Amino acid sequence: MADSDVFTIAREEISSRLWLGSSMYPSPDIMVSAFASAQPGFVTMSLRRQTAGDLANNDYHERVNQWLGASQSRLLPNTAGCQSAKEAIQLAILARELFKTSWIKLEVIGDEYSLQPNVFELVSAARELSAQGFYVLPYCTDDLVVCESLLHAGCPAVMPWGAPIGTGKGIINPYQLRTLRARLPDTTIIVDAGIGRPSQAMQAMEMGADGVLLNTAVAKAANPVTMAGAFAAAVDAGRAAFHAGFMTERDMASPSTPVAGLPFWHTAMREGQHHD
Ligand SMILES: CC(=O)[C@@H](O)[C@H](O)COP(=O)(O)O
């Protein structure tokens, strides 16, 4: 891939196109090793899962930075568990104070069964938080008009789902992702949630996604550290392939080895004899 494939959002360089969540790992040590293996651009963290004691602890910020280790990963607090714009805005403001970052992954869930975002509340929260100076990265559906509304609200990127959170089904609606890529050619698109295998992450990247965010597939792998590395390689490969340009698919077979004429070595041999 060209060295010039620098990844920026809101004019800030992001070190990797693979982003990872921080829940459900078998242990903190395994999680840290998985981050070291994948070197994710962002690591997301839910404030809701922290205890009041955690939040009051002055060392908390320090501990989170230790989790990120020597990697160049950034912390991306999220508003997981929020069901209204009001709740999400309050949590984002708390996250900014606690983690000293204006980046926020905005989640407003509208349906408990599918964990589908409430896109009306999402756009409303995105507008307010953007006005307050946040860099809002919204977890959304793959609906073109919703993504356009989020961009108009001030989001520097959109994060449409591949499939519902935790399902591992991959890109269940490739048509929608293709539509988003075609209609929003200059928008940063991060496929967020539902990715179960490295091949699915690669598919998203081959389709032109700018990055992939996932959690369950690594945290719940039999070997999270190895799986994290596999996802990192898949995301890089998918990106390189997208840039390289694909051959055109065709229905009829077309010989990749020429069958007409003499083999080149035959000609070369004859020429050799001639010189003798
Ligand atoms: C929106 C959301 O919460 C996702 O980022 C989730 O954390 C990752 O989804 P998977 O666990 O399906 O990868």
CATH of the domain at 234: 3.20.20.70
Question: How close is the Cα of 194 to the center of ligand 1, in Å?
Answer: 7
Say what the pLDDT of residue 163 is: 98
Per cent of the chain over pLDDT 90 is 79
User: What is the H or E stretch that residue 77 is in?
Assistant: strand 74-78
Residue 11, phi-psi category: left (phi > 0), alpha (psi -120 to 50), beta (remainder): left
Q: Is 178 part of any domain?
A: yes
Q: Identify any residues that bridge with 45 across adjacent strands, giving them in sequence order.
A: 77
Per cent of the chain over pLDDT 70 is 86
Residue 215, annotated as binding a ligand: yes
Q: Whose CA is nearest to atom 6 of ligand 1?
A: 193
Q: State how far the Cα of 124 lies from the Cα of 82, in Å rounded to an integer.
A: 13
Average pLDDT over residues 93-114: 95
Question: How close is the Cα of 221 to the center of ligand 1, in Å?
Answer: 15
pTM given for the model: 0.90
Q: Would you say residue 3 has pLDDT above 70?
A: no
Q: How close are the terminal C-alpha atoms of the chain, in Å?
A: 47
Q: Is 267 part of any domain?
A: yes
Q: Is 3 part of any domain?
A: no
Q: Is 67 part of any domain?
A: yes
Q: Would you say residue 165 has pLDDT above 70?
A: yes
Total of domains in the chain: 1
Residue 233: CA count within 13 A, CB half-sphere: 9
Q: Would you say residue 268 has pLDDT above 70?
A: no
Q: State how far the Cα of 65 lies from the Cα of 271, in Å rounded to an integer.
A: 69
Residue 163 CA to chain centroid, in angstroms? 13
Residue 216, annotated as binding a ligand: yes
Distances (CA, A) of 227 to 56, 200, 201, 232: 34, 13, 12, 9
Best residue among 118, 216, 218, 231 to mutate for probing ligand 1's pocket (most ligand atoms within 8 Å of CB) is 216
- Categorize the per-residue pLDDT at 221 as very low, low, confident or very high, splitting at 50, 70 and 90: very high
Say what the pLDDT of residue 139 is: 98
User: Could you tell me which residue, 85 or 98, shows the higher pLDDT?
Assistant: 85
Q: At what angle do helices 144-152 and 119-131 cross, to 10 degrees?
A: 20
- Categorize the per-residue pLDDT at 272 as very low, low, confident or very high, splitting at 50, 70 and 90: low
Q: Is 249 exposed, middle or buried (0-12, 13-18, 19+ CB in 10 A)?
A: exposed
Mean per-residue pLDDT over the chain, rounded: 91
For residue 129, give both structure tokens: 């938080």
- Cβ < 6 A, ligand 1 pocket: 21, 80, 107, 139, 165-166, 192-195, 213-217
204: number of Cβ within 10 Å: 27
Distances (CA, A) of 8 to 5, 152, 257: 9, 19, 42
Best residue among 140, 213, 235 to mutate for probing ligand 1's pocket (most ligand atoms within 8 Å of CB) is 213
Q: Is 226 part of any domain?
A: yes
- Categorize the per-residue pLDDT at 262 as very low, low, confident or very high, splitting at 50, 70 and 90: low
Q: Whose CA is nearest to atom 4 of ligand 1?
A: 193
Least confident range of 65-69, 84-88, 262-266: 262-266
Place of tokens 């293996």: 37
Distances (CA, A) of 94 to 7, 98, 102: 28, 6, 11
* ipTM (interface predicted TM): 0.97
Collapsing DSSP to helix, strand or coil, 239 comes out as: helix
Render pLDDT for 20-75 as a digit per residue (tens, 0 to 9): 999 999 998 999 999 999 999 999 998 865 555 565 565 656 666 777 776 779 99
Asked if 105 is an active-site residue, the reply is: yes
- Work out the widest C-alpha separation in the chain, in whole angstroms: 90
Question: How close is the Cα of 62 to the center of ligand 1, in Å?
Answer: 25
Q: State how far the Cα of 99 lies from the Cα of 135, in Å rounded to an integer.
A: 14
For residue 5, give both structure tokens: 């494939």
Q: Which atom of ligand 1 is nearest to the CA of 21?
A: 7
- Categorize the per-residue pLDDT at 267 as very low, low, confident or very high, splitting at 50, 70 and 90: low
Residue 19: which domain range? Answer: 8-275
Residue 259: CA count within 13 A, CB half-sphere: 3
Q: Is 1 part of any domain?
A: no
Question: How close is the Cα of 54 to the center of ligand 1, in Å?
Answer: 23
Q: Is 33 exposed, middle or buried (0-12, 13-18, 19+ CB in 10 A)?
A: middle
- Categorize the per-residue pLDDT at 145 as very low, low, confident or very high, splitting at 50, 70 and 90: very high
